[in-house]
Amino acid sequence: MINRERVLDRFIEYIQISSESKNEKVFSEKLTEDLEKIGLEVSRDNAGDIIGGTTGNIIAKLKGDESREPLLFSCHMDTVTPGINIKPIIKDNIIYSDGTTILGGDDKAGIAALIEALINVKEEQVNHPTIEVIFTIAEEIGLCGSKNLDYSKIESKRGFVLDTSGEVGTIVNKGPAQDKIDIIIKGKPAHAGVAPENGISAINVASKAIVAMNLLRIDEDTTANIGTIKGGTATNIVCPEVVIEAEARSTKIDKLDKQTKHMVDTFNKICDEENAECQIKVTRVYGQFVVDETDDIIKLASKSFENLGYNVEIKSSGGGSDTNILNCNGIKAVNLAIGERSPHTLDEHYHIDDLVKVSKSICEIIQNA
Ligand SMILES: [Zn+2]
């Protein structure tokens, strides 16, 4: 039986151990201890050394029935800021922070629910396949843990990431790839009152280029955005330089390539016309993932949710998560909603009922896997 008090106590305990990105060491030690208590073999990789963090990813294994395909669950240990000294307050079966920090339910609700489910599997002596657990570091600052995870330690080819907002029963089967586009436009300074004709305004050039661009919602698969633009020093100087940060995302790589090219070409063309210099750097931040709705991993989750009477919804996400990186590394994974509410804000809160629902669904998935 899933124990409501136990999983709640665990969640409350976990959110009070601060673990902002790259500072997950204390929390990872607690999790290592808890996983070992249940009987998992636990190791940590060296991703922390690679990214300059305090600890690596946790990779843990619970050996099971070898005739069944191994199954992986993944959550991230880090939180966004401000995530230090979180003081949980429970009101009407909902857990809030005191309003000065985030709550940390993203992703500690997933972690607490998963550990409760594993305890339950052991207590009830449920027959299960080998279960692998990964708890990643630095997800919130660019999926850094999963990008540097030691995949040679993983045997699973299928898995679930427990890390998205929405009602329990929601399965995210698509996530876009993302390009980051960094642009520097160099014009020429001049006195804005005495001889503006001698200058080239980088701000004017950037504006012209941006106006000429297709941005924001491009189509159902694709988005693009100019995120920041910085430049200029004073009103009496024709602005010599602006620095722009932009991004494009799509679940279809050809569409992403086309959108990124469109943005790069437009900056180059306008800069050319206006005699400004243009430096552009494009970085593919992560690849896309698309898991077919008829895939076994989705059938497994859907069936398990249905058995528990939860509504099943399959949808795509506009954001990036460790799910993207797992899929790019040969692990077919989808992201399951854990009931996160207003994550990444001071209003973040979490329903205790959802903690129980997520634990139950993980048990059900493990039984059916
Ligand atoms: Zn998260």
Average pLDDT of the chain, as a whole number: 97
E strand or H helix at 32: helix 25-38
Count the Cβ atoms, other than its own, within 10 Å of residue 252: 17
Catalytic site includes residue 78: yes
The reported pTM is 0.90
Cα–ligand 1 centroid distance for 106 (angstroms): 5
Q: Are 20 and 84 in contact, with CB atoms under 8 Å apart?
A: yes
Catalytic residue among 20, 24, 45, 78: 78
**Residue-wise pLDDT tens digits, 163-194:** 999 999 999 999 999 999 999 999 999 999 99
Q: Is the pLDDT of residue 214 over 90?
A: yes
The span from the CA of 98 to the CA of 78, in Å, is 20
Residue 353 makes CB contacts below 8 A (sequence gap 6+) with 93
What is the separation of C-alpha 134 from the centre of its chain, rounded to a whole number of angstroms? 14
CA of 312 to the centre of ligand 1 (A): 21
What is the spatial distance between Cα 56 and Cα 75, in angstroms, rounded to a whole number? 14
Kindly report the CA angle at 271 between 265 and 272, in degrees rounded to 5?
85
Question: What's residue 302's pLDDT?
Answer: 98
For the cut 90, the answer to whether the pLDDT of residue 319 exceeds it is: no
Residues 246 and 198 sit within 8 Å (Cβ to Cβ): no
Q: Cα(140) to centroid of ligand 1, in Å?
A: 7
Residue 54 predicted with pLDDT over 90: yes
Average pLDDT over residues 251-271: 98
Residue 318 reports pLDDT greater than 90: no
User: Does residue 137 carry a pLDDT above 90?
Assistant: yes
> Are the C-beta atoms of 122 and 38 separated by less than 8 Å?
yes
**Centre of ligand 1 from the C-alpha of residue 185, in Å:** 35
Give residue 165's region: left, alpha or beta (phi > 0; psi -120 to 50): beta
Model confidence pLDDT, tens digit, residues 86-132: 999 999 999 999 999 999 999 999 999 999 999 999 999 999 999 99
d(CA 313, CA 311): 7
Give yes or no for residue 334 having a pLDDT over 90: yes
Q: Which residue from 74, 76, 61, 72 is spatially nearest to 27, judged by alpha carbons?
A: 76
Distance 163 CA to ligand 1 centre (A): 5
- Catalytic residue at 65? no
Coil, helix or strand for 134?
Answer: strand
**Rounded percentage of the chain residues whose pLDDT exceeds 90:** 99
- Say what the pLDDT of residue 80 is: 97
Confidence label for 48 from pLDDT (cuts 50, 70 and 90): very high
